[in-house]
Amino acid sequence: MIISVASGKGGTGKTTVAVNLALSIPNAQLLDCDVEEPNSHIFIKPNIDNTSPVFIPVPEIDESLCDYCGRCQEVCEYNAIAVLKGAILVFPELCHGCGACSYLCPRKAIKEVNREIGVAETGTKGNLQFGHGRLNIGEAMSPPLIKAVREYSNPVRTVIIDVPPGTSCPVISSIKGSDFCVLVTEPTPFGLNDLILAVEVLRKLDIPFGVVINRSDLGNKDTYEYCAKEKIPIMMEIPFKKEIAVLYSTGIAFTEQMPEYKKEFLGMYKNILTKVKKP
Amino acid sequence: MEKICVTSQGNTLDSNVDPRFGRCQCFIIVDTDTLEFEAVENPNISSGGGAGIISGQLVSSKGVKVVITGNVGPNAFQTLQAAGITVITGVSGIVKEAVEKYKKGELSSTQGPSVDKKFGMS
């Protein structure tokens, strides 16, 4: 089973929820798909036993075969190739690796070469299996790396995915195929605005979901009213406590020091089991 | 005759120079001898990425030898350079005045990009 932990707004507590959920349930695997700034490992401190580079295919042009017909430029959705009079330029950092240019080149002047975009790593901490991706600095193309991290999904484990914030391609790549999605929000106007966007995405993808309200005693009641109106279950509330913040700031998963919350996470997990679609 | 391109916020010679290249409103392609011009609305304003590259191709296909604008990013600069187009940045004011200044030799070409990637996005 795959449970993804997402949020529209950044900084609401996805990593806190994903890490503590993974530490509170049996037989878990935590995959940190926030490859632009992975931080779950700070709390888990896994022993990494495998590091693999991840590549995307980018075009390389053999100019002795190229007649500058412009077909490759025409089919490139991302403006990664410029064909000029007697010159052709490739901008690898704009290339999404779709392969259309090399496939459609009438003179077979384009071959694909690998460009490294980051690494995928796996390891363990006690009984917990762990995996994450680290995107190279300056790199914009995270979905291929996210897919590589998800390939480590262990089908006999409960896979918890720490999803990047937002509602764009990296999020879709991370949550697609989940059995359930936990949306972490905070009861503030920004939190609610971005929660609504995330809800739209999950409804479109037809993934069952519920909400965790972090710092639940701050802000206002609008988020609760929205969830009630939309019949979205509130799975758990985490109060705004200095103790939790201090543990976070020192890289400690707060359930390790506040075991009463382990029961709450386990309770949420059992609740999720009742809400996933039966095959 | 010489064809030059000035990035413009409108479609006439009296419009203001657009400080962006790849995502400017309009390319004014001017014949420096006659001041006859063609105003090309920029189809790449809301391009997801690579606006400078595709705009570079567009002005290259119009046969211009010089681009006058506010700023160019690294990808646009590389494209224009490969197309053999001279790039002049740091220009503001009215398009017609920019053309006059160019004709008097008061504008000098730039040897590198003047802004970083994604400058024109905001």
3-state DSSP of A221-263: CHHHHHHHHCCCCEEEEECCCHHHHHHHHCCCCHHHHCCHHHH
| Mean pLDDT computed over B87-92 | 95
Q: CATH number for the domain including B27?
A: 3.30.420.130
Rounded to 5 degrees, φ, ψ at A194 are -75, -25
- Rounded distance between C-alpha atoms, residue B102 and residue B100, angstroms: 5
Q: B82 and A84 in contact by Cβ < 8 A? A: yes
**CA nearest to A79 within chain B:** B50
**Residue A54 · residue A38 · CB < 8 Å:** no
Domain presence at residue B119: no
Number of separate domains in chain B = 1
What ipTM was reported for this prediction?
0.81
Q: Which CATH architecture has domain A63-108?
A: 2-Layer Sandwich (3.30)
In this prediction, residue B87 carries a pLDDT of: 96
Q: Which domain holds residue B37?
A: 3-114
Chain A residues inside the 8 Å CB shell of B79: 82, 84, 89
Identity of the residue numbered B99:
V
In this prediction, residue A86 carries a pLDDT of: 81
In this prediction, residue B1 carries a pLDDT of: 74
pLDDT in tens, B47-75: 888 999 999 999 999 999 999 999 999 99
Q: A82 and B49 in contact by Cβ < 8 A? A: no
pLDDT in tens, B10-60: 999 999 999 999 999 999 999 999 999 999 999 999 888 899 999 999 999
Angle formed at CA B47 by CA B95 and CA A118, multiple of 5 degrees = 130
Crossing angle of helices A260-275/A14-24, nearest 10°? 90
pLDDT in tens, A55-108: 999 999 999 999 999 999 999 999 999 998 888 999 998 999 999 999 999 999
**CA nearest to B61 within chain A:** A84
Q: B75 and A91 in contact by Cβ < 8 A? A: yes
Chain A residues inside the 8 Å CB shell of B57: 73, 82-84
In this prediction, residue A132 carries a pLDDT of: 98
Residue A263 neighbours by CB under 8 Å, 6+ apart: A24
The band of A140, judged by pLDDT with boundaries at 50, 70 and 90, is confident
Which residues of A lie closer than 8 Å to B, measured between beta carbons? 73, 78-80, 82-85, 87, 89, 91, 94
The band of B7, judged by pLDDT with boundaries at 50, 70 and 90, is very high
Which residues of B lie closer than 8 Å to A, measured between beta carbons? 47-51, 53-54, 56-57, 60, 75, 78-79, 82-84
Domain presence at residue B24: yes
The band of B122, judged by pLDDT with boundaries at 50, 70 and 90, is low
Write down the domain spans for chain A.
2-51+119-275, 63-108
Domain presence at residue B8: yes
In this prediction, residue B108 carries a pLDDT of: 87
Fold of the CATH domain A2-51+119-275: Rossmann fold (3.40.50)
Q: A84 and B57 in contact by Cβ < 8 A? A: yes
In this prediction, residue A277 carries a pLDDT of: 76
pLDDT in tens, A81-95: 999 888 899 999 899
> Which of the residues B21, B54, B59, B67 would you substitute to probe the A interface, choosing the one with the greatest number of A C-beta atoms within 10 Å?
B54
Give DSSP secondary structure letters for A122-164.
EEEETTEEEEEEEEPTT----HHHHHHHHTT--TTSEEEEEPP
Q: B50 and A87 in contact by Cβ < 8 A? A: no
Task: Name the residue among B48, B78, B84 with its Cβ closest to that of A89.
Answer: B78
Chain B residues inside the 8 Å CB shell of A80: 50, 53
d(CA A88, nearest CA chain B) in Å: 8
